[in-house]
Chains A and B, each alone.
Chain A
Amino acid sequence: MNILIQILIGIILAIAIYTIVGFIPGTDETSVLVPISLALSLSGINAQVVLAFFMASIITLSITNAIPTALVGLPGGVMSSPMMEHSLYLKDRGLSAVVIKKMAVGSLIGVMVSLPLSILLSNIIAPYGEVLKRYYSILFVFGAIFLSLLSKNKIASLLSIIPLSFLFMSLRHLYWSLDIVPREKNVTISFFLAITIGPLLLNIFELFDKEKRKKMKVIEDKIITIPSQDDRNINPFKIITKKELRNSILASLISVFLFVLSPVGLTILLGEVFSRNTKDRKERSFMSITVMSSLIQSTYISGILIPLISIGIPLSPVSIGPGIALFDAAPRFTTDNNIHHILSFNEMLLPIILAVGIALLFSYYLTNRYASIISRFVLEKIPHEAILALFISFIFLLSYIDAGVINIFGVILIGLVSGILNRHGVNYGVQFMSLYAAPWIFNLFLG
């Protein structure tokens, strides 16, 4: 089949899947992006198609995740949780329809600013790639320390880096000594997924604890109201004010240069900085929502594209988190042979631009016109049980493929440990960096 047609099919599939997933409240970005992009990478589909699929996924998800936040007052994912306070304030005043439009325009600006700038910046960084590559295992150690210092619980994060590395390495050594995996293979991806589902897994384990279960019980039905939308105006310049436009452009611009920082952290920080000066409470909430929507797109786009185009090593929280399947999907992609190495700059450009362009136009139109209809459909028809079951089966399958039955238990072990750490303020970023720093840290102790 013609490669262009394959790319287009990939983009359409990504839009279809992530429009639905995005509207489901509470679905964490990393856990919904990684299993599917990983399965696609492993299936051997052309690298350009994988890249196009992924780019279309993040653009779609970043817009659609914001919708439940505005419409029903539940965050669509981690990235939209910073908008909750402002969304709820505006929702209570019956302004959800305006909020959704501003979110869509904010996203549009974020993409327009960050896409060209990220590509430009990658080309500036690329010549230094060789130097960075030589030290890359140490860079992950620095990454772990750096993200620890920025996390909620700095000391616990720092303290957990070495024990976590030991946990990962001990399982790898166990698998090697039992001849389950060949010596040269580092089981990584299923450990990665284990970290991702950690909090969920811990929650499920707590169900078996009577005391805990009482606390999790919900007596009343959850009642959700969906306001209707006015659907006439979709001209971006009529939806947001000049000041909102200017601040969104500036915030996205700055965030691109800070691509090594956590996308949620940046969204909260820059979103706050650029709305603080607005005095009126309502105006300030609108400003925050618009700027944050831009930031959600720009932090994701820069966080994935800059490391991918310039060095091919997942050095930013986005690339080592949700985007990991583009860098590491052994045996297909490894840190020495992934999309960065397989595709030339020009070969990457085509799928990126097509995916971003189509996904952006489609989700912009869709959210402006049909947000409340889709929300209603998803909330009324799709049970949360089915979603959880879907992701748990992905993890089972991918763990088994990585290292057999024994690895399913290994994954549960890691999931529980990382779920507990997560609850105590050791975030995903620190844990992912520790996973990649593990061999280097372990070797230190071997002397």
Chain B
Amino acid sequence: MKKNDNITIWQDVVSIKELILSVVISVSLTMGLYFLVPSNDNSVKLLFGLLGSIIGFIISTILYNPKRKVEKI
């Protein structure tokens, strides 16, 4: 049997390892961009933070595959 660490969370299947890595990627990009942006304007920092979270989302989407098997009938 192949090694499998899939679990159900929030009503869908995820791999624990990939979930943890995705969280680390997204959170560090979000907070990273928020702090690194050279601005004192809080709304600019917020927007950069959000941008970071979207970049994180795209990276995780590219790195990992959904655990669902889709069939068309």
**Which A residues lie at the B interface, using CB under 8 A?**
25-28, 39, 42-44, 74-75, 200, 203-204, 207, 213, 216-219, 221-228, 372, 376, 379-390, 392-394, 396-397, 400-401
Smallest CB-CB separation from B4: which chain A residue?
A: A219
Q: Are A221 and B60 in contact (CB-based, < 8 A)?
A: no
B68 touches A389 (CB 8 A): no
Q: Is the CB of B73 within 8 A of A381?
A: no
CB pairs A–B below 8 angstroms (30 shown): A25-B11, A26-B10, A44-B43, A74-B11, A216-B8, A216-B9, A217-B5, A217-B6, A218-B13, A219-B4, A221-B13, A224-B70, A225-B70, A228-B72, A380-B70, A382-B66, A383-B65, A384-B66, A385-B21, A387-B57, A388-B22, A389-B19, A390-B26, A393-B31, A393-B56, A396-B30, A396-B31, A397-B34, A400-B31, A400-B34
Question: Once the chains are docked, how many angstroms separate the CA of A74 from the CA of B66?
Answer: 15
On chain A, the residues within 8 Å of B30 by CB distance are 393-394, 396-397
Sample of 10 further A-B pairs with CB below 8 A, known A223-B71, A385-B64, A393-B52: A75-B11, A217-B7, A224-B71, A226-B73, A228-B73, A389-B56, A392-B23, A393-B30, A394-B53, A397-B49
Contact B27 A381 (CB under 8 A): no
Tell me the bound Cα distance from A386 to B21 in angstroms. Answer: 10
State the majority secondary structure of interface residues on A: helix
Known contacts A376-B70, A401-B42; A386/B10 CB under 8 A:
no
B56 touches A224 (CB 8 A): no
Q: Which one, B6, B19, B68, contacts A379 given CB within 8 A? A: B68
Chain B residues with CB under 8 Å of A389's CB are 19, 22-23, 25-27, 56-57, 60
Assess the A384–B42 pair: CB atoms within 8 A: no
Q: Which residues of the partner chain A approach B50 to less than 8 Å between Cβ atoms? A: 39, 394, 397
Q: How far is the CB of A428 from chain B (nearest CB, A)?
A: 15
Contact assessment for B61 and A43 in the assembled complex, using a CB-CB cutoff below 8 Å? no
A216 CB contacts on chain B under 8 angstroms = 7-9
Chain A residue numbers with a CB within 8 Å of B29 are 393
Chain B residues within 8 Å of A394, by CB: 30, 50, 53
Q: Decide: A397 and B8 in contact? CB cutoff 8 A.
A: no
Known interface pairs A223-B69, A383-B65, A385-B60. Does A26 touch B53 (Cβ–Cβ under 8 Å)? Answer: no
Give the interface centre of A376, A384, A389 by most chain B CB atoms within 10 Å: A389
- The 4 A-B pairs with the shortest beta carbon distances in the complex, nearest first, are A26-B11, A386-B60, A389-B22, A389-B26
Q: Which residues of A contact B53 (CB under 8 A)?
A: 390, 393-394, 397
Inter-chain contacts of B18 with A (CB < 8 A): 383, 385
Most A-side CB within 10 Å, residue of B27, B46, B57, B70:
B70
Q: For the complex, what is the distance from the CA of A378 to the CA of B71, rounded to whole Å? A: 13
Tell me how far the C-beta of A421 lies from the nearest C-beta in chain B, rounded to whole angstroms: 18
Given the complex of chains A and B, what is the CA–CA distance between A226 and B69 in angstroms? 11
Inter-chain contact A379/B72, CB cutoff 8 Å: no
Give the interface size class of chain B: 35 or more
Closest A residue to B16 by CB, please name it: A207
Q: Is the CB of A386 within 8 A of B22?
A: yes
Bound Cα distance from A44 to B43, whole angstroms: 7
B9 vs chain A, min Cβ distance (A): 5
Q: Which residue of B lies closest to A217 (CB)?
A: B7
B46 contacts A39, CB within 8 Å? Answer: yes
> Complex: how many Å from CA A265 to CA B4?
38
* Residue in A25, A27, A386, A390 with the greatest tally of chain B CB atoms within 10 Å: A386
A385 and B27 contact, CB distance less than 8 A = no
CA A225 to CA B71, docked complex, whole Å: 5
A384 touches B72 (CB 8 A): no
| B56 contact from A44, A390, A401, Cβ within 8 A | A390
Q: Which of A26, A222, A387, A393 is B27 in contact with, Cβ under 8 Å?
A: A393
Question: A70 CB to closest chain B CB, in angstroms?
Answer: 14
How far, in angstroms, from A103 to B16 measured CA to CA in the complex?
35
CB distance from A25 to the nearest CB of B (A): 6
Contact at B27–A227, with CB atoms within 8 Å? no
CB-defined contacts of A27 to chain B, threshold 8 Å: 10
Whose C-beta in chain B lies nearest to the C-beta of A197? B10
Contacting residues, chain B, for A396 (C-beta < 8 A): 27, 30-31
Cβ of A392 to closest chain B Cβ, rounded Å: 5
Contacts of A390 in B (CB 8 A): 26, 53-54, 56-57
Q: How far is the CA of A384 from the CA of B29 in the complex (A)?
A: 18
A219 to B5, CA, bound (A): 8
Complex Cα–Cα for A219 and B52 (A): 34
**Using an 8 Å CB-CB cutoff, how does the interface string of B36-50 with A read, 1 for contact, 0 for none?**
000000110011011
- Say yes or no: A379-B26 contact (C-beta < 8 A), given A26-B12, A216-B7, A218-B6: no
Chain B contacts of A213 at CB under 8 A?
7
- Bound Cα distance A28, B4 (Å): 27
Q: Which residue of A lies closest to B61 (CB)?
A: A386
State how many angstroms separate the Cβ of B16 from the closest Cβ of chain A: 6
